[in-house]
Structure formats: C-alpha cells, structure tokens
Structure 1
Amino acid sequence: MSQLVLSLDPGLRAALDDLADAQGRTPEEVALAAVRAHLRQEDGRVRAVAEGLARHHADLLRRLGE
C-alpha cells in the first residue's frame, strides 16, 4: 500500500482526531473511509454524466462507429 501525506490545519486535525476517538478508530482509518466514500460517490456521478452524454449523442456515436 502506498502512503499519502496530508497537511491539515489544526482545526481540521482536531476534528478528525475527535471523530476517530468517538468511533474507536484511528484518524487514518477515518480518513481512508472518507476517501473511499468520496471516490465511490464521484464514480457514480461521473458514470451518470457519461451515460447521459452517450444517450444524448447516440446517433453521432453510432455514425462514427460505422
């Protein structure tokens, strides 16, 4: 697994530490879960936009494939 170093302002770091403590997890576990959730959400959003564009331009895409 590769590492990523994030610089957090003191307020954000304190909030992360507090949340992790409340959940009985490490700050790293909380941050990793947040990154995974964000990537899933963005993947779904991007996929929906791409599918909408493909439907909207289906005729053009079909003609380009001929």
Structure 2
Amino acid sequence: MACSAPGGRKAFAGSRPPFPEDIALDAVLHRLARESSPVRVTAESLAGAHAELLRRLGE
C-alpha cells in the first residue's frame, strides 16, 4: 500500500523496512521545508531594506 511521503515521494508501507538513506533523506527534506519560510522572510526583508543599493549595483 503506497502512502505519500515528504517531497512527493512514495513510501510503501509494509513492503520493506526503510533504508537508512530513506530515513535520512526524509529528515533532510522535512528540515528544509520547515526552514524555507523563515529564510524567505529574512531574504525579502533584507532585499526591501537594501533595495536602492541593490538597484545601483545592478546598473
């Protein structure tokens, strides 16, 4: 029986125990998903605060 796993992957419940690599990958994907929102907020805040400098550097 297939069930959804983090990152859009499929986990097959009952067919075999997960490999250590599967467990590690799921943990990393979960951590990245959790951290992406705060990182985006910080990046947008910095970009907004320094918009004029970024514009001038791009010229």
TM-score by length of 2: 0.50
Scaled by the length of structure 1, the TM-score of the pair is: 0.46
| Higher helix proportion | 1
Higher relative contact order (CA 8 A, sep 6+): 2
